[in-house]
Amino acid sequence: MGSLACRAGENKALLQNATYGLAALKALLDAIIADTGTTLEGKLDIIKALLDAIIADTGTTLEGKLDIIRTELTFQHQAAAQLTQTNPVQNTWYTILDTTANVRLYSLVVRVDTTNETLEVRFTIDGLTISQTVDATAGTWYRPRINVDAPTYLEIDATYYLAHGYTFLEARSLKIEVRKTTAAGTGTMYGRASYAKR
């Protein structure tokens, strides 16, 4: 019984403590309640005004500033990478697009000006190499592209693809080369890649 009385006395002393007791808690609550009608409310009004200004600004300057800040995430269109190789040597690779990081390839075309030639195009994508050949008609542009049903297979033909029907290729690293695997003549070989990078 004496032990319970002792504990009750200790609890009462704690509750009456000037620093940690109920009186101190009441004083803090009174200060907060008194402040909500003056200083704190004024600060909330300032915050609200700032948020209103930001919301009003999102359609104009703020949005533009955010675009500038995050340009590392956007692709920037580049001047086309082009190859014009006179008298190409049989089985020698010529670079259309040298190794480029963080690239988006929109389109690629190749052609040769001599008859009875076979062109081979080679992509090196993130360390993976794929290539394909085409029996080329002199002066005809051919369009190499990744087969969407077989991503490790390169297709090449003279079909024209509209923008909505041509899937672009994105890669961390991309290199594009072309060569003649035949030696039927001495005409010029061409390549052109339209691409963007970030």
Same domain, 52 and 122: no
Same domain, 107 and 15: no
Q: Where are the alpha helices (DSSP H) in 37-140?
A: 39-57, 61-69
Question: The tokens of 69 are what?
Answer: 């800040």
User: pLDDT at position 177, please?
Assistant: 97
Residue 62: burial class (beta carbons within 10 Å; 0-12, 13-18, 19+): middle
CATH number at residue 102: 2.60.120
Question: The tokens of 124 are what?
Answer: 């090196």
Asked which of 40, 71, 102 is the last residue of a domain, the reply is 71
Residues spanned by the domain of 174 = 76-197
For the chain, report the end-to-end CA distance as a whole number of angstroms.
Answer: 80
Same domain, 25 and 107: no
Asked which of 46, 71, 96 is the last residue of a domain, the reply is 71
pLDDT in tens, the chain (198 residues): 556 666 666 666 666 666 666 777 777 777 777 766 656 667 777 777 777 777 776 655 555 555 565 667 789 999 999 999 999 999 999 999 999 999 999 999 999 999 999 999 999 999 999 999 999 999 999 998 887 666 667 888 887 654 444 568 899 999 999 999 999 988 999 999 999 998
Distance of CA 52 to the CA centre of its chain: 31
Number of H helices, E strands in the chain: 4, 9
Same domain, 169 and 119: yes
User: pLDDT at position 165, please?
Assistant: 44
Same domain, 115 and 183: yes
User: pLDDT at position 58, please?
Assistant: 64
User: pLDDT at position 164, please?
Assistant: 40
Same domain, 85 and 158: yes
Same domain, 85 and 12: no
Same domain, 102 and 9: no
